Structure 1
């Protein structure tokens, strides 16, 4: 069985702690209360949208972008729940999948492939090492460079995570037949590839 999962561009690391002078706390609290009081705001600066798809106006249900946004939030929530239960986050899964697909690699290379800052990737790798899922090694013939790779325990954990992801898929795609799920996956991969190609072109133009 192929030990890999489809990777995706995930948001930056969460859970960082910031420290502000005490005099700003009251002002921030007032600002937060005001922001949360605004209708249609989810507290993160974006419209929350209907909590359940069946409450959405009929007009927006004809918009593919809206449907992908709403279903994407539901998928992310279910996946996050599965990962949190194991003490992991989406970035951990993505890094493990990349190592499974491409083998041992330097941290810098892994960070570049995941489009992450090196310090962020370092924290992810450290988390995986502490969990026993990854290790840093010096490869024969390349002793100057340290590579990070999955441990046997990491491979086993990734297999279990794949099963968790599959169960989340089953939950989300329950109304679809097996053939319809395959078709949906194919279409989504085409759209993803198109978007990734467009993003790569923008980055290359910016470097010129």
Structure 2
């Protein structure tokens, strides 16, 4: 699994690098797309990322025109980061790159085998996620 993960990450990283981006850029953009505008601190926490590293990632996205910082209308002290229209468009293209990388990686498998692999991986992930939740719960007690 480790070797396959490295191969998949390398292929995706190559596609992202061609666009001047890294995996953290894609991850932050996907989180903003899924959860909407949010404070940088919240985004860093949700990504389990150091706040200063997230700051650099967001600054890169702002320079590329993919994100912007906006003050909340009801409370101008609070600044949220969100995708720009260009960011949404770039994310659509990046998602196509992800799908292409997945297709390359899974090329030797039939559609039924891909479905089976997906099902098995979701089951393993659910097991690992519930085990991590149990450990976190025990740590709080």
TM-score for both structures, normalised by structure 1? 0.63
Q: d(CA) in 1 for partners of 2:13 and 2:75?
A: 37
Larger radius of gyration: 1
Q: CA RMSD in A?
A: 1.6
CA deviations on 1:110-134 (whole Å, 9 max, x unpaired) are 0110011111111111111111100
Shift in alpha-carbon separation, 1:185–1:90, aligned structure 2, 3 A: same
Deviation at 1:207, TM superposition (A): 4.8
Q: d(CA) in 2 for partners of 1:71 and 1:130?
A: 33
Shift in alpha-carbon separation, 1:181–1:160, aligned structure 2, 3 A: same
Asked whether 1:190 is paired with 2:123, we answer yes
Which residue, out of 77, 91, 94, partners 1:161? 94
Q: Which residue in the other structure is 2:56 paired with? A: 123
Which secondary structure state, in structure 1, belongs to the residue aligned with residue 76 of structure 2?
coil
Deviation at 1:184, TM superposition (A): 1.7
CA deviations on 1:59-109 (whole Å, 9 max, x unpaired) are xxxxxxxxx112111111101101111111111111100000010011111
Shift in alpha-carbon separation, 1:193–1:91, aligned structure 2, 3 A: farther
Q: d(CA) in 1 for partners of 2:76 and 2:109?
A: 51
> How many equivalent residue pairs?
141
Unmatched 5+ stretches in structure 1: 1-67
Q: d(CA) in 1 for partners of 2:98 and 2:120?
A: 19
Q: d(CA) in 2 for partners of 1:133 and 1:201?
A: 37
Unmatched 5+ stretches in structure 2: none
TM-score for both structures, normalised by structure 2? 0.91
Task: Name the structure with the higher helix share.
Answer: 2
CA deviations on 1:8-44 (whole Å, 9 max, x unpaired) are xxxxxxxxxxxxxxxxxxxxxxxxxxxxxxxxxxxxx
Q: Which residue in the other structure is 1:83 paired with? A: 16
Shift in alpha-carbon separation, 1:139–1:183, aligned structure 2, 3 A: farther
Task: Name the structure with the higher strand share.
Answer: 2
